[in-house]
Chain A
Amino acid sequence: MKAQGTVHKYGSNVDTDVIIPARYLNTAVHSELAAHCMEDIDADFIKKVKDGDIMVADKNFGCGSSREHAPIAIKASGISCVIAASFARIFYRNAINIGLPILECEEAASDIKNGDELSVDFDSGLITNITTGKSYQAEPFPPFIQNIIAKGGLLNSLKDRM
């Protein structure tokens, strides 16, 4: 699996309240969640984001409440992948379980700038910054996790076993 797109860059400790504010949790409709994604720290995000774009952030991305709505909102906004220096534990689980590709890479997270063009290869964990020509190696996911993401989430990936 590969992704290519423009970077939307954020700092450390982006919490799930910022990703999708609690006042919008009364809906489970993915497109409605996406419409408010990131609005408290980046009001124009949803207008700027194009299908396939990539989110890059610093440490502890997705901290705070355990809401599965947060990765759902990011995925539904068109983001193809989130790269961060580190993720909060429950966000990390939830992202994989709902089929949002994520990669941990400290060097990439600190180097890459807003607006850079990236390509990401999930099989190898290779991140290439097309704008600067620099590349980074993230730890790739083992095949069974890649399979969860490729199938669009944990429950879909298990269909043949249920």
Chain B
Amino acid sequence: MAMTMTQKILAAHAGLSEVKAGQLIEAKLDMVLANDVTAPVAINEFEKSGADKIFSTTQISLVMDHFTPNKDIKAAEHCKKVREFAGKYSIKNYFDVGDMGVEHALLPEKGLVGPGDCIIGADSHTCTYGALGAFSTGVGSTDMAAGMATGTAWFKVPSAIKVTLTGKKAKWISGKDVVLHLIGIIGVDGALYRSLEFTGDGLADLTMDDRLCIANMAIEAGAKNGIFPVDETTLAYVTDRFEREIKVYEADTDAEYDEEIVIDMSTLRPTVAFPHLPENTRTIDECGEVKIDQVVIGSCTNGRIEDLRVAADIMKGKTVAPGIRCLVIPATQKIYLEAMKEGLLEIFINSGAAVSTPTCGPCLGGHMGILAKGERAVATTNRNFVGRMGHPESEVYLASPAVAAASALTGVITDPENV
């Protein structure tokens, strides 16, 4: 039977020659991930169950990123618990202040995830690694605990929506605009339970950073996973980086899809998701005059080097508008260092922006940039739910780094073309 790319990866990890949508399978895992918020819960479950060994010392990643550098005593206690667990079981990929980054930027960068992998993470944006041609999805604490103990998880095989991307993006259009546009079309439950499989000649115009951003937000359409085919861009990224064998899976040409969505990227305009759902999208031309108080450039969606380059390009030699707080948060230490060497950090600081060490921080309303009642932020993050970045009556507008940087300079949501 013809299979989608996701189905092929699942079949291979379940030891089956084929699987079909709806089938329940047990699959071997290549990587199991948790962060400082979810790992403590999973560790409790793990210990309660009486487990006393882990399936691999190299295929579990624990990343202290949400509330670190520790924002309060509770955060410090959580990290301590995870640090001790990692030490006890000799878990190699434990990342703490000094070498950590935002998990979904860090794991691809370190070569811990790659093409053909089957990955679970106790974090909903684990779907990011689909950009590399992996099957990757978010799970709960019980799944995570069992995954650490056995290196397996059960899955219901998903059906898929085919997303065909064509054309070339105009200047200032990025992966963020593509994925916001897609979510605007299908809605926050448009891909519920299913895979989003990306294809089309437009892929040639998407860098790895664009793809990581698009796959990252698959969950914002309710998808179980989002996945890209492995091409030259992928191979260039993973070669000399990915530590396991590269396995390339392709969807069968006659694979069945529930539906197909075609997006001509050459027609896209900078896109902004208005409060309080990622599906409330408007093009920059439909935004009207939205006054803002804060800009956040960072997160697992858009805290990568290309994002910082675009923002710096727009902010170079200019200053952040009076009364606006602009925060730039490189997603990993490596990106931080690269941005420093390229002079980007200097551009940000000279323009009046604050630059922070890597952290999730304001993305989930944790720390480092919380909004007061009635305040508005333009953020390059992925969720604009009620209260996501602070007070329940604050607002988050999701946009690309280009729109965020342009808006920082004017204090209103702004087309990068106009600064």
Which residues from chain A sit less than 8 Å from chain B, CB to CB? 66, 68, 88-90, 92-94, 96-98, 139, 141-142, 144-145, 148, 153-156, 158-159, 161-162
Contacts and interface: CB of A to CB of B under 8 A. Distances in A.
B193 A89 contact: yes
Please list the 3 inter-chain residue pairs (A to B) with the smallest Cβ-Cβ separation, ordered nearest first: A155-B49, A162-B51, A97-B142
Interface stretch (B143-151, B266-274, B282-290): B143-151
A145 B145 CA distance: 17
A159 B224 CA distance: 28
A148 to B, nearest CB: 8
Contact of A142 (B24, B48, B139, B222): B24
Contacts of A159: 49-50
B103 to A, nearest CB: 18
A153 B49 CA distance: 11
Nearest to B189: A63
B50 A144 contact: no
Interface string B349-374: 00000000000000000000000000
Contacts of A142: 24
Contacts of B22: 139
Given A89-B192, A97-B140, A153-B142, A158 B150 contact: yes
A159 B46 CA distance: 11
9 contacts: A89-B193, A96-B154, A139-B22, A145-B24, A154-B142, A154-B146, A155-B142, A155-B146, A158-B150
A28 to B, nearest CB: 10
B141 interface: yes
A158 B53 CA distance: 12
Interface in B220-271: 222, 224
Most buried by A among B22, B139, B222: B139
Given A89-B224, A158-B150, A162-B52, 6 more contacts: A96-B154, A156-B49, A158-B49, A159-B50, A162-B50, A162-B53
A98 B142 contact: yes
Contacts of B26: 144
Bin the interface of chain B by size.
20 to 34
Nearest to A157: B146
Contacts of A88: 192
Contacts of A68: 140-142
Given A158-B49, A162-B53, A93 B139 contact: yes
A76 to B, nearest CB: 16
A157 B392 CA distance: 41
Contacts of A96: 154
A43 B78 CA distance: 38
A156 B142 CA distance: 11
A161 B140 contact: no
A97 B24 contact: no
Interface in B130-189: 139-143, 145-146, 149-150, 154, 156
Nearest to B41: A68
B140 A145 contact: no
Contacts, number: 60
A141 B24 contact: yes
B140 A66 contact: yes
Contacts of A97: 140, 142-143, 146
B149 A161 contact: yes
Most buried by A among B50, B146, B150, B193: B146
A41 B193 CA distance: 26
Nearest to B145: A155
B45 interface: yes
B179 to A, nearest CB: 20
A94 B142 contact: yes
Interface string B46-63: 001111110000000000
B140 A93 contact: yes
B140 A94 contact: yes
A161 B24 contact: no
A103 to B, nearest CB: 13
A90 B223 CA distance: 11
Contacts of B224: 89
Contacts of B222: 89
Contacts of B50: 159, 162
Contacts of A145: 24, 154
Given A141-B24, A162-B150, A93 B52 contact: no
Contact of B140 (A90, A141, A144): A90
A11 B36 CA distance: 38
Contacts of B146: 97, 154-155, 158
Contacts of A156: 49
A55 to B, nearest CB: 20
A145 B140 CA distance: 17
B48 to A, nearest CB: 8
Contacts of A148: 154
Nearest to A153: B142
Interface string B13-50: 00000000010101000000000000000000100111
Nearest to A89: B193
Nearest to B46: A155
Most buried by B among A88, A89, A162: A162
